[in-house]
């Protein structure tokens, strides 16, 4: 005797049929799925392809479009990469960028965790207003802030040092990371925290043993954003750093490889391509945590 079909099974079958109706023909799948996906992938990857072929093109092919195709390379060379790594200060710029990005990201996450936890979990008077003000601080353009920050940097005596960037980058990283972590902490059930407090745990123990382990995807997501913003920052690095050995990649590549009206395109593209690899690797390793942070923490 056949078992009666449950309501859940009926809904599942119905939803599956209705969801696939719009893709029941090849033509519709091409125009609805494959074509938009192909356009998106092309727009996303073409700049990297252009940087890659320009980095390995000989100088004669960079401007001779009548003889050589601009979208392909004949007789590739590594001279531009060799020049960049061994005849410029690019390795030093890479180290400076990595050090500044890691240090400023760590400081920003440390301050943002305390701020987001206090606003979302302690709920003191004016917590919501404080959270809104912190987010509004992130919307202030850096082009306005770098003038008073430059005065402070000169007064403190850290101009033309990596410490100047490490201490100024959190001014725009902390508001953003705090706003991001506030939303993630909000998804963690209050019952977990209340149970720990009833069992005798302190606020510090609740934060370190209950909240932070559940908020690892949110912390990684905020860290990736902070690291990326620090890695690509240009205005502060251009204003607070003057010596070549202390420059970061965005500033060093632009100021040292462009001499008047002479653009060293091969070295420029090599520097841009190598400079983007650490961020690409970072995203590829932590993409699962990044996606999970978009869905929140433990569901009630």
Q: Is the pLDDT of residue 300 over 50?
A: no
Contact 218, 234 (CB under 8 A): no
Q: CB of 193 within 8 A of CB of 159?
A: no
pLDDT tens digit sequence for 241-289? 989 889 999 999 888 888 777 788 888 899 988 888 888 888 878 777 6
pLDDT band at 65 (very low <50, low <70, confident <90, very high): confident
Taking CA atoms, 140 is separated from 104, 127, 175, 226, in Å, by 19, 21, 10, 16
Q: What is the pLDDT of residues 132-166, one digit of tens each?
A: 888 888 888 878 888 889 899 999 999 999 999 99
Cα–Cα distance, 104 to 231 (Å, whole number): 10
Q: Write down how long the chain is.
A: 300
Residue with tokens 């990371």: 177
pTM over 0.85: no
Token pair for residue 175?
């508001």
pLDDT at 106: 96
State in Å, rounded, how far the first CA of the chain is from the last one: 40
Which of these, 228, 229, 232, 235, lies nearest to 142 by C-alpha position? 235
Domains of the chain and CATH, by start: 7-77 (no CATH), 86-293 (1.10.3720.10)
Exposure letters 9-32 (e unless 16+ CB within 10 A, then b): eeeeeeeeeeeeeeeeeeeeeeee
């Amino acid at each position: 005797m056949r078992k009666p079909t449950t309501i859940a099974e009926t809904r599942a079958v119905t939803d599956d049929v209705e969801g696939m109706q719009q893709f029941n023909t090849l033509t519709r799948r091409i125009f609805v799925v494959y074509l938009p996906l192909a356009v998106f992938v092309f727009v996303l990857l073409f700049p990297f392809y252009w940087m890659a072929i320009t980095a390995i093109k000989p100088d004669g092919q960079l401007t001779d479009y009548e003889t050589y195709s601009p979208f392909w390379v004949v007789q590739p060379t590594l001279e531009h990469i060799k020049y960049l790594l061994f005849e410029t200060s690019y390795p030093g710029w890479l180290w400076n960028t990595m050090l500044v990005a890691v240090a400023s990201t760590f400081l920003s996450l440390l301050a943002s965790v305390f701020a987001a936890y206090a606003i979302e979990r302690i709920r003191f008077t004016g917590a919501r207003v404080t959270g809104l003000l912190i987010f509004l601080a992130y919307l202030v353009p850096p082009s306005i802030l770098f003038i008073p920050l430059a005065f402070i940097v000169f007064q403190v005596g850290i101009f033309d040092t990596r410490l100047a960037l490490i201490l100024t980058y959190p001014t725009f990283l902390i508001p953003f990371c705090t706003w991001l972590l506030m939303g993630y902490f909000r998804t963690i059930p209050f019952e977990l925290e209340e149970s720990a407090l009833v069992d005798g745990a302190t606020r510090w123990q609740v934060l370190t043993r209950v909240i932070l382990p559940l908020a690892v995807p949110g912390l990684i997501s905020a860290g990736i954003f902070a690291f990326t913003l620090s890695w690509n920052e240009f205005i502060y690095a251009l204003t607070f750093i003057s010596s070549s050995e202390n420059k970061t990649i965005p500033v060093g590549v632009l100021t040292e490889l462009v001499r008047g009206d002479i653009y060293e395109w091969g070295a420029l593209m090599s520097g841009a391509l190598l400079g983007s690899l650490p961020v690409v690797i970072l995203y590829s390793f932590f993409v699962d945590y990044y996606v999970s942070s978009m869905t929140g923490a433990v569901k009630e």
